[in-house]
Homo-oligomer: A and B are copies of this chain.
Amino acid sequence: MADPKQPTDAPADPAPPPESGIADAGAGVDQAMAQALDADDRGRARRLFRSLHYADAADLLERLSPEDRARLVNAVRDEMPPEVLSELDETVRDHVIEHMGVEDLAAALVELDSDDALEVVEELPAAEQQQVLDAIPAGERTLIEEALTYPEDSAGRLMQREVVTVPTHWTVGETIDYMRMSADTEKTTLPEQFYDLFVIDPARRPVGTIPLSRLLRSRRPVPVTEIMEPEMKLIAVTTDQEDVAFVFRQRDLTSAPVVDESGRLVGAITVDDVVDVIDEESEEDIMLMGGVKADDLYRDTLATTRSRSAWLLVNLPMAFLAAAVIGLFDASIEQMVALAVLMPIVASMGGNAGTQTLTVTVRALATKELTPTNAARVVGKEILVGVLNGALFAALVGVLAWLWFGNPTLGLVMGGAMIVNLAVAGLAGATIPLLLLRLGADPAVGAGVFLIMVTDVVGFFAFLGLATLVLL
């Protein structure tokens, strides 16, 4: 029974059963495939794999254990749908390609659109990349090699080369006839899928865009210049993909023209490519905030351990610095062991409050909502929020500490340290990402580690220092 809350391939009508071929790929397929592979039944594995939509096939390959994945790829390597390759996670794709071999890979790539093929080729190690390129026919190869000359993660890598262009003097009727004619001749240059036409001047500079739906709603004699959208965002071929995604989101675009240094149209970026970029960019932010270099779900244990240890190594001196601050007050702790018991509370509350500020700040920088215009106001607000929540939790924590250890002054000291630490947490949470950005780094990179160092050091110092002054 299909869950009505889930998207289904078949109508939600309970009467007719879902058609077999397009049923949702789920746990059932995983089990059936595992059984077929365990039984070494290559024929059944091939049939099962062939019945899947390419996106579901890619997901299945990702979920399988490395051993099962290798067995499946060996069974289907000569009929791997090319779209599966561009859908795969990078680590899994490397693994799949390793078992496919250069020839089957090149054969699959030829069938892909040039930007999808590029996506696979650009991630290959240099030696393999050359081998695969050599196995691809010259026409396709030239397109890929040209695209590879643009910087990584630039508009030039994202764009389709095939664009539908229309001269300024054409009418709607001429445009439609031209498209139909191109389709009738064998050697069509129209892209497989497109959403907008670009009106260009004689120097091939874009002067307007026409959504296909507007073209279809217009009468044949209307000139294209009358229905085109003259206000458009031109994307330079070297623009970073993050900025491309920002423009698409801000302007709700479906495609945008890409131009070279002289303003000539060289390609177009479509929204489906941008959806992937948006995903990648927010994943990058999430990963960097969490102290992970990249999504390592599919990497093996050793590679994951190595990549994670790099971040832990950055944290280590910070942790020792916080410990050294405690070491300054060892005499105080010896006199009053309650200080050692309570000090992590001050540090922990500061760390949490600072992380809240940090999260909002990093996100606001990513969405370009935090700018020089409002930065001072945001930092000021965050400090004030820290002071206010500091006062609130100072009262709460102070009373709890008093009740626990029967010492009202200890409660006062803890409350004072709490206010100081939460105010500093607000300041640090808002300024660390701004400082990282100023230094040319990603505002999320290591921000959490630096923040916790600040809130630990300040928390321990304020609490133990105040205690030493007031209590002992």
Question: What residues of B have a CB within 8 angstroms of the CB of A275 in the complex?
Answer: 248-249, 252, 271, 274-275, 278
Closest Cβ neighbor of A11 among chain B residues: B263
Q: Quick check: which of A38-46, A127-135, A292-300 contacts chain B, the rest being far away?
A: A292-300
Cα distance A362–B295 in the bound complex, in angstroms: 11
CB distance from A172 to the nearest CB of B (A): 9
Could you give 5 example pairs across A and B, Cβ below 8 Å? A7-B233, A12-B234, A12-B236, A59-B250, A334-B334
A11 to B323, CA, bound (A): 56
A13/B262 contact (C-beta < 8 A), A235-B7, A315-B349 known: yes
Q: Is A104 an interface residue (CB 8 A)?
A: no
Q: Check A468 for interface membership: any CB of B closer than 8 A.
A: no
- With known contacts A312-B352, A393-B316, A254–B271 Cβ distance under 8 A: yes
Smallest CB gap from A361: residue in B: B297
Main secondary structure of the interface of A (DSSP, over half): helix
**What chain B residues lie within 8 Å of A342 (beta carbons)?**
323
Q: Which of A224-282 contact B (CB under 8 A)?
A: 231-236, 238-240, 243-244, 247-252, 254, 256, 259-263, 271-272, 274-276, 278-279, 282
Task: Return chain B residues, CB-CB under 8 Å to A6.
Answer: 236, 239, 243
State how many copies of this chain the complex holds: 2
A364 close to B (CB within 8 Å): yes
A441 contacts chain B at the CB level, 8 A cutoff:
no
Interface residues of A in 358-398 (CB under 8 A from B): 358-360, 362-364, 368-374, 377-378, 381, 384-385, 388-389, 392-393, 396-397
**Contact across chains for A322 and B348 when beta carbons are under 8 A apart:** yes
For chain A, give the interface size range. 35 or more
B311 touching A448, Cβ below 8 Å: no
16 other A-B residue contacts (CB within 8 Å) besides A212-B213, A315-B348: A191-B213, A193-B214, A193-B254, A195-B254, A249-B276, A252-B272, A275-B275, A275-B278, A286-B359, A297-B363, A301-B381, A301-B388, A302-B388, A312-B389, A323-B342, A340-B340
